Chain A
């Protein structure tokens, strides 16, 4: 199901400079006893190299709404001093157009380690294109430990989504 990514790639390649607006990257972590942690950042960028799309997030800009928790996340889990950026690379999607939703294989690099992930896309035409992408990652796959704080555990599976508007070329 690479059609959506291909469609998105076609859009980006049509632009001299791929440009996105209103970006928001959101992660949801799930903890014990019903705890849910949401972290957000608007710091999403998109570049292309040939037919490869690369989305980048500055991890130091992620905020969960509690400063101490942000500090723990940055310093003890993500280690943003050593690994400041997370990237998602969508490579060589087959050229098939016409789909507005689907799933594609991408490469996620976090904490200095790269693993494949399946990314679900939705694209809607609206003065350009509104794009939503979601995937699930496991902290352990990237050499990170799921945090525990005073008896409350965070599960290693993290849901990630990105919403942005791709400006029309």
Chain B
């Protein structure tokens, strides 16, 4: 949306840092600005189909419906191994939000085709977010508590990007429970979250506690630059199996120098300090160019690097195409080519992905 001059997320999303349940304004913009339009009539209003469930079910003004289904067909080749295919239901969420006076709440409940997700509340049933809070000043200031996306860096759908994986701040399943304060204004927005841990995993020792936050400035229309910081500690890190303090500190930029083009960039310095082992320090970066030659059609090129464990630089490139072709519906194809250091070994990773996405 930065190409259209929207540098804050709170006009369109109940979550002021973006993603999740849409506001009525966001639903309308989803059709007016994001979806391909075929009538050729400029300045058309959003159709009733932009509403929840394509307008099949009207909710009271204070109740906002939502939810998403995202299905992925994946073919992947790791090193010299065979090419393997898989079909993955990445997201099958129903969601709702309450917007009554200053009261705000949002929650989701869904099903995925894999097990072991840190967002699971049981088996393959997941709840990515559930929070409640109070908004002040017409919503510019929001204090909320519950399970929510970690406020850090650029909130993008590509949850496997190095920057998202290295900082554990993706939209897929790395949400945390805690208390957060967010502020959304014309020139500045930000959010600071006190992280109490993920209470959807059983072992308290695995829970990360600390803080995460970002501040972003938008000095001119269609340009925003920000910084993020995160420090958490877990008595037993779920990946390293020892006590670990994680830090990530970085900068990010969103810019649209020419309306069809959006540039997203992020660089994060990541530090892990596992107990009994040397610290692992390094950089995760991402640069993405999104070209929209026709409304709704996006051609995307992404480059990324990761150098955290000192074993060598992993790097990768993505070529993607996405088409928002109908109300609430989009399809996307990605080709990903990475040279990735896993452990002490470098692998070539090729992945072909096709996905369909709908939101209610």
CB distance from B41 to the nearest CB of A (A): 9
CB distance from A161 to the nearest CB of B (A): 13
Please classify the interface of chain A as helix (H, G, I), strand (E, B), loop, or mixed, using the class held by over half of its residues: mixed
Chain A interface size band reads 20 to 34
User: When the two chains form the complex, which single residue of A36, A70, A152 contacts B5, counting CB atoms closer than 8 Å?
Assistant: A36
- Report whether B25 and A152 are in contact in the complex, using a CB–CB cutoff of 8 Å: yes
Task: Specify the chain B residue showing the minimal Cβ separation from A33.
Answer: B10
User: Is the C-beta of A37 less than 8 angstroms from some C-beta in chain B?
Assistant: yes
- Report whether B28 and A35 are in contact in the complex, using a CB–CB cutoff of 8 Å: no
Chain B interface size band reads 20 to 34
Q: Could you mark each residue 59-103 of chain A with 1 if its beta carbon is under 8 Å from any beta carbon of chain B, else 0?
A: 000001111101100000000000000000000000000000000
Which B185-229 residues have C-beta < 8 A from chain A?
185-186, 189, 218, 221
A residues near B44, Cβ cutoff 8 Å:
68
- Report whether B24 and A150 are in contact in the complex, using a CB–CB cutoff of 8 Å: yes
CB distance from A29 to the nearest CB of B (A): 10
- Report whether A150 and B25 are in contact in the complex, using a CB–CB cutoff of 8 Å: yes
Which A100-149 residues have C-beta < 8 A from chain B?
149
B residues near A151, Cβ cutoff 8 Å:
23-25
User: When the two chains form the complex, which single residue of B24, B33, B45, B184 contacts A33, counting CB atoms closer than 8 Å?
Assistant: B184
CB distance from A34 to the nearest CB of B (A): 4
Please, how many angstroms separate the alpha-carbon atoms of A119 and B8 in the complex? 30
- Report whether B5 and A37 are in contact in the complex, using a CB–CB cutoff of 8 Å: yes
- Report whether B6 and A65 are in contact in the complex, using a CB–CB cutoff of 8 Å: no
B residues near A67, Cβ cutoff 8 Å:
42-43
A66-B33, A149-B25 given as contacts; is B4 within 8 A of A33 (CB)?
Answer: no
CB distance from A153 to the nearest CB of B (A): 7
Q: Could you mark each residue 7-42 of chain A with 1 if its beta carbon is under 8 Å from any beta carbon of chain B, else 0?
A: 000000000000000000000001111111110000
- Report whether A30 and B43 are in contact in the complex, using a CB–CB cutoff of 8 Å: no
A residues near B10, Cβ cutoff 8 Å:
33-34
Task: Specify the chain A residue showing the minimal Cβ separation from B10.
Answer: A33
Among B6, B11, B28, B218: residue with most chain A CB under 10 A: B11
- Report whether A34 and B8 are in contact in the complex, using a CB–CB cutoff of 8 Å: yes
Q: Could you mark each residue 24-49 of chain B with 1 if its beta carbon is under 8 Å from any beta carbon of chain A, else 0?
A: 11001000110000000011110000
- Report whether B221 and A34 are in contact in the complex, using a CB–CB cutoff of 8 Å: no
B residues near A30, Cβ cutoff 8 Å:
186
A34-B189, A36-B5 given as contacts; is B259 within 8 A of A66 (CB)?
Answer: no
14 A-B pairs in the complex with CB atoms less than 8 angstroms apart? A32-B11, A33-B140, A34-B8, A34-B140, A35-B6, A35-B8, A36-B218, A65-B259, A66-B4, A66-B33, A68-B32, A68-B44, A151-B24, A153-B138
Residues of A within 8 A of B (CB): 30-38, 64-68, 70-71, 149-153
* Among all A-B residue pairs, the 7 with the closest Cβ atoms: A34-B8, A67-B43, A71-B43, A33-B10, A150-B25, A67-B42, A150-B24
